[in-house]
């Protein structure tokens, strides 16, 4: 997690929004055995991902690679909540 504020609300909702565009893909975020469906921003938030925390993404379905690229771009964009 590159973002200093960790997984904040706007980041979580932005990630969910992307995942929603890929109806047939299921994306799960995993942080120390805790799993969260990426279609639920609330679930992503409950993982409590902070700066430098490691998160594993489990992606299943067609177009998984494009989706991953989009998610990565979203992460790297930073999305500081002050933006």
What are the residues binding another protein (CB under 8 A)? 5-10, 12-13, 16-17, 37, 39-43, 45-46, 48, 50, 83
Task: Answer for the pair 79, 10: CB distance below 8 angstroms, yes or no.
Answer: yes
For residue 64, give both structure tokens.
């998984």
The distance of closest approach from Cβ of residue 35 to another protein in the complex, given in angstroms and rounded to an integer, is: 12
The distance of closest approach from Cβ of residue 45 to another protein in the complex, given in angstroms and rounded to an integer, is: 6
What are the backbone angles phi and psi of residue 81, rounded to the nearest 5°?
Answer: -70, -15
- DSSP letter at 26 equals E
The distance of closest approach from Cβ of residue 50 to another protein in the complex, given in angstroms and rounded to an integer, is: 4
């Amino acid at each position: 997690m590159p973002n200093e504020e960790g997984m904040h609300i706007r980041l979580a909702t932005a990630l969910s929004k992307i995942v929603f565009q890929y109806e047939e893909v299921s994306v799960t975020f995993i942080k120390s055995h805790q799993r969260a469906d990426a279609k639920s921003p609330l679930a992503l938030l409950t993982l409590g991902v902070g700066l430098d925390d490691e998160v594993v993404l489990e992606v299943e379905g067609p177009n998984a690679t494009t989706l991953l690229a989009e998610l990565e771009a979203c992460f790297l964009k930073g999305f500081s909540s002050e933006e």
